[in-house]
Amino acid sequence: MPNLQAITKSEFAKKSWQRNTNLWFAAEDAVCPLSASELPQAMMCMPLAFLCTDGEYSIVGLQGLEQGNNYFLDDEGKWKSSYLPAAYRGYPFVLATNEAELILCIDEDSGLLIDDESAEPFFDQEGEVTTTIKELMDFLSSISTGMQAAARICESLSKHELFKPWELQFELENGTKRVEGLFCIDEAALKELPDKAYAELRLSEAIPVIYCQLLSMQRISYLTQFAQAKSKADIVPEPNELNLDGVSTDGNISFENL
């Protein structure tokens, strides 16, 4: 867990920060939370799934087949795929929620916080946050909005009972590997939805999420290539094109308005 410290003028006026040069902080992330707007890009690189925590579902990108192992990092902590999840792009900064207020925080254990003014400042000479910090706050705020949208979509999918357990099993050189705790869209239940329920899903913008998740399941074979390798390669296996057969193209589904 990150050691978050709220950025205040009294505490950070004489401090500075360095830009991140690697992604080692994500090395143990087998999954990463995703916002709704990320899914069209993320599905091209990784399988998408749903997690259920305390009865609430969230959308995640699957980055490994065992706890504590992120296949998308190379030996230098660089990202090996064409899409980097937004949750990683703002590090070491995080927006925390205090009641209805969003507060900009930094991970004090990141190694990127400097106790003097030798690196990038948090505040300018007038005592205002710098342009860079403002841009980071806007970016993190957009992520927060996207995560809220994803949560609302998951509520709609759960209401119509469209989740089912996604039980994965692989035969690897060192034996059988099972991945549990993931959920996917129940295609059979989707086909049986009455028109009114389908219309509700469309209005909630859940339909693009449904198809992104279903199409992304083809990326599982991409992850197994990493799992079967004895060591992580510096070059990612080139993913095959997604098979779009059977996907409706009548204009009812749009990936542009997520």
Q: Average pLDDT, stretch 82-91? A: 93
Backbone angles phi, psi at 73, to 5 degrees: -105, 140
Taking the C-alpha atoms of residue 155 and residue 254, their distance in angstroms, rounded to an integer, is: 20
pLDDT at position 243 = 46
* N-term to C-term CA, the chain: 30
Summarize pLDDT for 182-194 with one digit per residue, the tens.
Answer: 999 999 999 999 9
Q: What is the pLDDT of residue 241?
A: 52
Share of the chain above pLDDT 90, in %: 68
Backbone angles phi, psi at 160, to 5 degrees: -95, 15
- pLDDT tens digit sequence for 94-129: 988 877 788 999 999 999 999 998 999 999 988 999
Both tokens of 80, joined, read 């090996």
- Predicted confidence (pLDDT) at residue 211 exceeds the cutoff of 60: yes
The values of phi and psi at residue 162, to 5°, are -105, 5
Contacts of 126 (CB under 8 A, 6+ apart): none
Q: CA angle, corner 29, sides to 146 and 97, nearest 5?
A: 40
pLDDT at 87 over 60: yes
The answer to whether 38 and 84 are in contact (CB under 8 A) is no
Q: Do residues 211 and 247 lie in contact, with contact meaning Cβ atoms separated by under 8 Å?
A: yes
Using a pLDDT cut of 70, give the percent of the chain over it: 87
Place of tokens 């390669």: 233
**How confident is the model over 225-248, as a mean pLDDT?**
52
Report pLDDT digits (tens) over 43-58.
999 999 999 999 999 9
Alpha helix segments (H runs only) across the chain: 9-12, 39-42, 86-89, 131-159, 187-191, 195-203, 207-216, 220-228
